[in-house]
Amino acid sequence: MHRYNDYELIYLVQNENCEEAFKKLLGKYKLMIYKNIYQYNPDKFYFDDYLQEGLMLMNKAINIFEERRGKTFTRFFELILKRKIFELNRKKPLYEIYDDFEMFPDKEQSIEEIDTEHLTKFENIVFNKYFVENQNISYIAEVENKSVKQIYNAIYRIKNKI
């Protein structure tokens, strides 16, 4: 059985669209993709996305690689893979949005039954307008002659106290 080197396999993929050659390259470099992903320690939630990006990048790297540039394919692919993973880490959101978040998950206790004695006068006003009457934050700020930031801060304090 003949063993192909990277340059032969890349030639077969670029010029003849050989699927077997692509599979051999993929099998060889998949471990390098895993290694580089683990080096950046991503959340388990994002690992599959990083892996998929690495595999797509491998396909692109095979198609654009030029042997005459004087670099081996391994170094070329590793360089662009590290750059891509670094870019994905940089663009990762710093927060997560939960669609099913409920302020009051206990169904037996309604909003009107919550003890608001420990809230300040302003926090009581914001609580009633925001949580009970479901008014918009900018509207509450306009009516109460406060800034939007003050309303957000009051809501934050209310959530902590409750």
- DSSP letter string over 44-85? HHHHHHHHHHHHHHHHHHHHH--GGGS--HHHHHHHHHHHHH
Q: Which residue, among 161, 101, 99, has the nearest Cα to 153 in the 3D structure?
A: 161
Average pLDDT, the chain: 84
User: Torsion-angle region of residue 101: left (phi > 0), alpha (psi -120 to 50) or beta?
Assistant: beta
d(CA 69, CA 46): 34
Q: Are 158 and 127 in contact (CB under 8 A)?
A: yes
Domain 6-91, second-level architecture? Orthogonal Bundle (1.10)
Question: Is pTM beyond 0.85 here?
Answer: no
Integer angstrom CA distances of residue 119 from 61, 115, 155: 60, 9, 11
67 versus 1: which is more confidently predicted?
67
State the pLDDT at residue 6: 84
Ranking 46-50, 62-66, 72-76, 100-104 by mean pLDDT, the lowest is 100-104
pLDDT digits (tens, 9 = 90+) for 94-138: 766 666 556 555 555 566 667 777 888 888 899 888 888 888 999
Q: Where are the domains of the chain?
A: 6-91, 111-161
Mean of pLDDT values over 15-41: 89
